[in-house]
Structure 1
Amino acid sequence: MTDGGAPSGGTGARQPRQIVLRPTAPIVPAANIAGRSLMFVISIMSFLASLTLGAVILVQDTANTWQSDISREVTIQIKPQDGLDMQQALETARRIAIGFEGATDATIVNDEETSRLLEPWLGEGLDLDELPVPRLVIVTIDEGAPPDFQAMRTALTQALPNVYLDDHRTWVNRLVAMANTTTLIGICILMLVFAATVLTVIFATRGALSGNHHIVEVLHFVGAEAGFVASHFQRHFFIIALKGATAGGIAAAIIFASAGVWANNNFATPQSDQTNALFGGFSVGPGGYVGIVAIVIIIAFLTALTTRITVMKTIREIDLIRSNPGHVL
């Protein structure tokens, strides 16, 4: 005779019931249209910020190169004149310049080099004897102990007609002012991009909170700390921002790398010579790519911080409404 509580044919021992745990859904949906839109916007912001940083680096490097080259050289210009033996005048100017202490070398820019300098504007096959083109002597100076430019200018003027000594001081001052202004503008643009990113993240976070308001309120009501809820939103938007910022940074890096390849492939042409003189080699260097990585990291962490602050502020508003139902925010 068997016990009515025990199954017939069994051992008489009750088998433990297996508990199946269902996976919990995230507070914030992993992927939605709003998230993809935010990722796209952040990628644009990262792209613009990286381009701005790269442009500032290019301008600064080019300005430093110009300033270094200009500070090492002065230029003697001799304008053509009827009856003037230009070659002899150039030799005389070179001899006078090299005679001053502090002038280490002097080079006459020959006809071929002068034609090459004018080729982008006047074309090929120039006859310099038929054009009133000033001829140049480049004087290399000792940066630590430069010569007396006023004495050199006086000696040249007494020996030659239509001669002009340019020590490039005006250009150096303008160059420094331009570089500083460009840097300031670049910093302002970066700040605007970061500010726009913060505002975009605030709106996106509030939108996500609005769509999941009942979940957030219930979790907080049953005892979930504000930091716990904020960490879920923070992690969600951090991943979105990191993906978007990385995409924008990679796009900017590809553009700079492509520009550098183009500059190298078009080297030693009149167009590339002028472009390199104005903008350098279009190479941002290792520092530029490190800066792009830094922008990606800054945007990602700025997004996470903004999201956390926004969620914490919203939960405090919920607590304020619950403690004072009549309060209007």
Structure 2
Amino acid sequence: MPTHSRVLILGSGPAGYTAAIYAARASLEPVMVAGPEPGGQLTTTTEVENYPGFPKGITGPDMMEEFRAQAERFGTKLHYDMGVRVDLSRRPFVVEGEADTYHGDALIIATGASAKWLGLPNEQRLRMSGGGVTACATCDGAFYRNQDVAVIGGGDTAMEEATFLTRMCRSVHLIHRRDTFRASKIMQTRAIENPKITVHYNTEVADVLGGDRVVGLALRDTVTGAARELAVTGLFLAIGHQPNSDIFKGQLDMDETGYLKVRPGSTYTNIPGVFACGDVADKVYRQAVSAAGTGCMAAIDAERWLAEHL
């Protein structure tokens, strides 16, 4: 027998949990399908120092545990399952999970986005352990004050992250596997002309060096194959994010990279009763606090829509 709810929430990061808190307090008895990474990207972050209300900082996993407890306190029913198929052509909306099937009169999508990684074993080990590999300069740059760091990427995000890091880091090495950047000219100029940034063209990372912490990078010239090492204490990946929206293809409007489109100033998608919040619909900010804000918006949008239509 499918699990039915007035509000069904997919995803359990800051956006999903905030939507659940608001929906539960509105007596909508939300059901949440947590997804493959309960707690979202913050569960792989060590210290969070830029979320309001935590002046001493908090670890990502601890913060998401607080979010979960608050959502469940008001009656959110949490299912540790992952949606694999959806049918948004009729109401109630249908989400098929690996373990169960879920029906929702309204659907809030908070499935987030995943940073793209190089896939190197040491990169993943040091990322998961908080050893100096990250994909968010805004989140983690302050931990590398007066240190030498590297940024990988060639787009606007890489230029922006590298430039941002020069405010607190001693030096920033910008590594790109090609001989030209794809970033806009103004962003390129800003980065290239910054005296703290050293650009390494035609260069790729062959390995991340370090035991408990990053101590350097093994680099390879993509033209000559020559190998060398670079001493840094932090590695910032800026090679893009992938919104977790594949199961909605063909049903919801999205941009060319898969971010869900919402009506400006709201969380309404192109299907009435379906709302999107957090990083799955945000390719600009991608912060926990902005995700939580749109989660609040989604719950209020869903509550008002339900009041008018059901």
Bucket of the pairwise TM-score, normalised by the shorter protein: under 0.3
Q: Which has the larger radius of gyration?
A: 1
Higher strand share goes to which structure?
2
Superposition TM-score, scaled by structure 2 size: 0.21
Superposition TM-score, scaled by structure 1 size: 0.20
Higher helix share goes to which structure?
1
